[in-house]
Structure formats: C-alpha cells, structure tokens
Chains A and B, each alone.
Chain A
C-alpha cells in the first residue's frame, strides 16, 4: 500500500520491502553498514549472520529487566529487539503471528498510536512509549495495549487480514479490535455501539472507538479476539 517511498526517503528511514502480501506477508529490511532498527520480540524469521541482536524491555539503554517482567506478568509482554549491522550490510526478515498484511509508514515528527500486537519494527529515531493510557480509563473486552510512536523515520506494522486506511474528517466509529493504528491528531472517546449498553453488549460489539477531527485510521479486516472466541471453545480446556 504505502511501501513506494523510494523517491522521498528522509534520513533515518529504513529500506523495507513487504513480500507475499497480503495473506502471508513478511518484511525484508535491508541494512547498510552501521544502520540499525528496533523490532517486536519474536518477529525475526531470518537474518544475515553479521547482524547483531540485543534485547531490551522498552528502549535501548533504558528500562530495567524487572520492569519488563512486570509487564510480562500483566499480560503485556513487550520486549524489543535491536538489530544492528556492523561493518557489513545485511538483511533481516520479519514475520507476524497471524495471517495478514503489513504496511510501511514514514513519520515526519508526528505521533502515531499503534495497537501493541500490530507493531513490527521502527527506525531507531522513533520513540516508543508503552505507557500510553488513552484507552485505559474504560475496560475493553479486547485485552489490547497501545504504543505511542513518535519521531522521524520508518514504522512497520501488521494486521490480521487485510489492512486499509480510512480518512476521517468529522466523526467516525471503529470497533477497537479492528484498529491497527491511528494518527495522534485525532480525538477519540470510547463509547457503546448501540443506543443502550444492553444492545451494545448483546450485539457483540461492546466498546467502540468514536474518532473525531481530521486524520487517518488504519483498519484490519479481521478481529483477532473474535477469531479467538470462535476457536477457543472448540479446544480442550486448560488445566
């Protein structure tokens, strides 16, 4: 979708090619000597032998191991791997858990809110804030956590199913489980989908996000929780 940015490549951006779109997508990131990037833990499929990898809990050189453990226990395991090319150039392949697409977005100082499970990778100049509390005030059915990304460089994210942008100018309602990312310039409130709480819950929509203002929301065609709730009851109970 937005991976044709060869002509306008700002400093600090990554050379990313998304292969096997849309269902089996994988990101091929080519690093020049000395170049580096950050990726979601567990996303690496394969890489050149000269690439070095380092794991941190949040951002390079900050955030302790206990903080990361705490996050893991609270169900928000968020560890990041930092890949760097030494004197040689190299390639890193990144994948996702679910069947679906990936997209590349260039940030020019603006902020982006990304669903935790959709984050794949970013340039080292992109700040990753894991303490974004925007949706925390209300309990959502989907146990999602959100990342606030800001800075100059490339961001890669993935979706469950297809991914498509929606330009918002005014107001728009999106099911929280379908949000991949949205621009920070948008205002939002969590609200019920129907007229009453009862119809919202019985209707299976639960909480939705009402956006307002001007900006883009990236939507995934499928909702991982809904898929999970279909498969789960058919499996053997956990002990």
Chain B
C-alpha cells in the first residue's frame, strides 16, 4: 500500500493487517521519533540517538516507551520500522490535534509531535490487566501506531462500548468511563469483565486480537516447577 501525504513525510505501510511494517523517507536534516527496538532496516546516512525523555512515569507504565531519534544526514534516508507484535500499523496526520494511544501502541512520529505518558488515575485507569497509563501525542505532524491483530476504525457518534484490552487509540475530546456490562453474573463469567464506554464525537481505533487471552491460553502449556 503506497500512501503519500504531502503534508508530512513520504511513507508506505506494507504487509497489512497481519504483519504491518512502515517505511518512512526522512528528508535531509529532518528527525523522526521511533519506539526503541522498532527499527528494522535503514540507510547508512541515518544517525540514531537514544533519548531518555519522559522521566520517571515511563518506568511506572511498565513498558519501555523509550524513544530513539533518527536523523537523516547529508541527503534523504529511508528507514523501515517494524512493531514488536504481529499486527497492524496505522497512520494519522495530526494537525494541531491530540490523540491518546494505549501504552504499547506508539510506533513512530514526526519530531514535532509531543509524546508523553499520562497517568489516568486509578478510577479511570484501564482495569482488567491493562495499564493505568496512556500515551498522549499532540502537535502537528505524522504519527504511526501499531496493534496486536488488525486495526478497525470506529466513528463514535452516539457512543460506543469497547472491551478495554481492544483499545488501540482514541481522539481527544471523547469522554470515557470504565464500567461493567450485563448483570453481576456477567462480571465474572462473561469474559468481558470491564468495558470502556465512550461518549461524545470522535474516533476510536480497536484491535481484533488481545494480549491477555493469548497469555491465558499459553499458560497451561508452561512446564510445572518440580521442587
């Protein structure tokens, strides 16, 4: 899939939705923020610099939102960025806008995008094993994010109910609250647990697979400890 966004970087997203990978052409002298360890291949004239931005909250989020900066020197350079999970990649051009990402969803962005880990508070935090942290991206420029499984975009108009583990990203301005669905029996046996109820107008990106059921499935295959 070839996409050319004249507003931002030249880029393409290939092997979607199962094994999405992003190729970005960085113009000479320009800088790209990339999630640590996501660089797969790059031209030799691209220089990498590790940044320890974000401070202590990054360690609390239980996830390495370590961002490396890639700068093209003496001419344009191309870089391929591959996410950790088999899954989809998606792109959005932020025009002085703000978007929230689930805490493993950040892949890459224009250097002008301000990327920050935000604590949601214990009452609003995503329960059911998800993180209490979200990644807030704001400013003007390209942003790429990734998922486990495919990504589906949902226009929220009259509200939407989404399983907390399936949220990839959502636009600023949407209100959300964590609640249960169904009766008390559903809370324990429905397998849905807690859901996120979005209201207002905006967009939510959801992923078709979820990490926790996959971990629950693999668990019985682990060896047992012999004391």
Give the B-binding residues of A (Cβ under 8 A).
Answer: 19-20, 23-26, 40-57, 65, 68, 72, 79, 81, 93, 95-99, 224, 228-229, 231-233, 235-239
Contacts and interface: CB of A to CB of B under 8 A. Distances in A.
B149 A235 contact: no
Determine the interface band of chain B, counting residues with CB < 8 A from chain A.
35 or more
A51 B223 contact: no
Given A228-B221, A232-B218, A237-B222, A46 B162 contact: yes
B214 to A, nearest CB: 6
Give the interface SS of chain B, mostly helix, strand, loop or mixed.
Answer: mixed
Interface string B61-94: 0000000000000000000000000111000000
B208 to A, nearest CB: 4
A121 to B, nearest CB: 13
B160 A49 contact: yes
Interface of B: 17-18, 86-88, 149-150, 152, 154, 158-163, 166, 181-183, 185-186, 189-192, 197, 199, 204, 206-210, 213-214, 217-225
Contacts of B223: 232-233, 235, 237-238
A55 B220 contact: no
Contact of B209 (A97, A228, A235): A97
B166 A229 contact: no
B222 A79 contact: no
Given A99-B86, A237-B222, A238-B219, A41 B17 contact: no
A54 B183 contact: yes
Contact of B186 (A51, A53, A96, A236): A53
Contacts of A47: 160-161
Contacts of A79: 189-191
A55 B86 CA distance: 31
Nearest to B190: A55
Contacts of B162: 45-46
Contacts of B192: 41-42, 44, 53, 81
Given A95-B149, A97-B209, A44 B186 contact: no
A106 to B, nearest CB: 24
Contacts of A45: 162-163, 166, 206-208, 210
Contacts of B191: 40-43, 79, 81
Given A235-B222, A237-B224, A239-B225, A46 B160 contact: yes
Contacts of A44: 163, 192
Given A79-B190, A95-B166, A49 B158 contact: yes
B222 to A, nearest CB: 5
B225 A24 contact: no
B197 A49 contact: yes
Contacts of B224: 237-238
Contacts of B154: 46
A92 B168 CA distance: 18
Given A26-B150, A231-B221, 15 more contacts: A19-B150, A20-B150, A23-B150, A24-B17, A41-B191, A44-B163, A46-B154, A48-B159, A48-B160, A48-B161, A68-B189, A81-B182, A81-B190, A235-B218, A237-B222
A190 to B, nearest CB: 22
Nearest to A65: B185
Contacts of A52: 182
Contacts of A42: 190-192, 213
